[in-house]
């Protein structure tokens, strides 16, 4: 039986939530879009495999990935049996510059609401990973918040609200969102304010790991 | 590469939370305890494999299982590469009668707080599945509640509290637990009361799927 990993890399940006896809450059699937994914070597752990495969195909390095779900229907790949472990992560699009290599002809961001028809069950893998990402954001009080490595170190509450709105694909009323913040004692207000704006500068906030560990673990 | 499934079946009972283990009856591992698990056939889906393997080794039938996590460290099984998909479920111990077969010499319940040293990484698989089970109970408002098929159709609030206490391994203050119930509009009070008790009979409650679908989806 073959075992592979497929990586769902979500990219957060001011223009919405994207996912990284590659264009297959070889085989009878040439020209099709797919998730970055490939076989696991016999001597590497699954986590290592996911990180390696992502780097080989897209150039993205040092991206922590988490398991979403394992897909193993008998007929998911025509003609052979491949069980694939779907991994996912979210990064700030600005932090990376994808560079396709190996058998990838292109590596590009696609809007999560506008994904083309992909190879095999890759659309279903994205759907599952997106659900997982959203649940993670909704129920994250015991873990490092999803936005910790995506937003800058200091950010406004409007920027945080935008992140929630983009990932959860809904709008929050400003007042209701501020109430949500009470659930996050690890969100700390600083004495720093925006400087490069024409309107009244907003206060900047930051994530405080120590407070989080104290309250949530 | 080999692919297997391992099943973590939690058993709820008045005496606490248990997990089903089998005693290996063959090979150099004879006499060791392990999770019910075995190889996936090339022509079956992962979910089917988990259900089949559980039935073959323990006699337990029609048990729905969910993926917890896939374990695939290169060295998890000495001498060969086996990736295993860990599945889990919770049932009422009273509903089943385990009957070991195939290469299992015994199938028994063990208290989750008193698991022996198992083969391979099976202790870690249980730890992970238990965490998953608890998170599922804590954040279950969008899914069928974990206790729906474990408790009888009509139950007292004390019985529900006991289930929470056993699974989460903590005690709830009665008043605080009653407050928690407000988060569950799908928990409906009936006009039925206990009949076979010497103290004042308690009111019975039930899960209402229709209300749940209306509020939570």
Residues A156-167: what's their mean pLDDT? 94
List the single best residue of A48, A53, A72, A87 to mutate versus B (max B Cβ within 10 A). A72
Which pLDDT tens digit goes with each residue over B169-216? 999 999 999 988 888 889 999 999 998 888 999 999 999 998 888 876
pLDDT for A217 beyond 60: no
User: Looking at residue A180, what is its pLDDT?
Assistant: 85
DSSP string, B13-50: ETTEEEEEEEEE-SSTTTT-EE-SEEEPPTTS-HHHHH
Asked if A85's CB is within 8 angstroms of B45's CB, the reply is: no
Confidence of residue B89 (pLDDT cuts 50, 70, 90): very high
Question: In chain A, which residue's Cα lies nearest the Cα of B73?
Answer: A45
Which of B40, B45, B70 shows the shortest C-beta gap to A46?
Answer: B70
* Entry field: residues in chain B: 217
Which pLDDT tens digit goes with each residue over A186-203? 999 999 999 988 999 999
Which of B2, B83, B135 shows the shortest C-beta gap to A46?
Answer: B83
Confidence of residue A81 (pLDDT cuts 50, 70, 90): very high
Give the dihedral of Cα atoms A44, A48, A49, A54; nearest 10 deg. Answer: -160
The answer to whether A2 and A80 are in contact (CB under 8 A) is yes
Residues A156-177: what's their mean pLDDT? 94
Which of A1, A45, A72 shows the shortest C-beta gap to B73?
Answer: A45
Q: Please state, in angstroms and rounded to a whole number, the distance separating the CA atoms of residues B40 and B61.
A: 18
Distances A177 to A171, A185, B7, B187 between C-alpha atoms, Å = 9, 14, 41, 28
User: Looking at residue B126, what is its pLDDT?
Assistant: 98
Enter the ipTM.
0.88
Domains in chain A and their CATH numbers? 2-137 (3.90.79.10), 157-216 (1.10.10.10)
- What interhelical angle do A122-138 and A157-168 show, nearest 10? 140
């Amino acid at each position: 039986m073959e075992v592979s990993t497929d990586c769902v890399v979500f990219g957060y940006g001011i223009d919405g939530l994207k996912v990284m896809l590659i264009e297959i450059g070889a085989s009878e699937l040439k020209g099709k879009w797919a998730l970055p994914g490939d076989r696991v070597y016999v001597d590497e752990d699954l986590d290592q495999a996911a990180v390696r495969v992502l780097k080989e195909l897209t150039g993205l390095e040092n991206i922590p990935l988490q398991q979403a779900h394992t897909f193993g229907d008998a007929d998911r790949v025509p003609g052979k049996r491949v069980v694939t472990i779907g991994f996912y992560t979210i990064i700030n699009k600005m932090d990376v510059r994808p560079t396709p290599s190996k058998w990838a002809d292109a590596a590009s961001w696609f809007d999560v609401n506008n994904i083309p028809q992909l190879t095999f069950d890759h659309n279903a893998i994205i759907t599952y990973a997106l659900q997982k990402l959203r649940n993670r954001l909704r129920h994250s009080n015991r873990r490092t918040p999803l936005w910790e490595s995506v937003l800058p170190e200091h950010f406004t509450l409007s920027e945080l609200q935008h992140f929630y709105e983009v990932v959860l694909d809904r709008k929050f009323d400003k007042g209701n969102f501020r109430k949500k913040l009470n659930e996050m004692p690890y969100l700390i207000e600083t004495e720093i304010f925006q400087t490069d704006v024409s309107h009244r500068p907003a206060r900047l906030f930051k994530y405080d790991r120590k407070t989080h560990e104290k309250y949530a673990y």
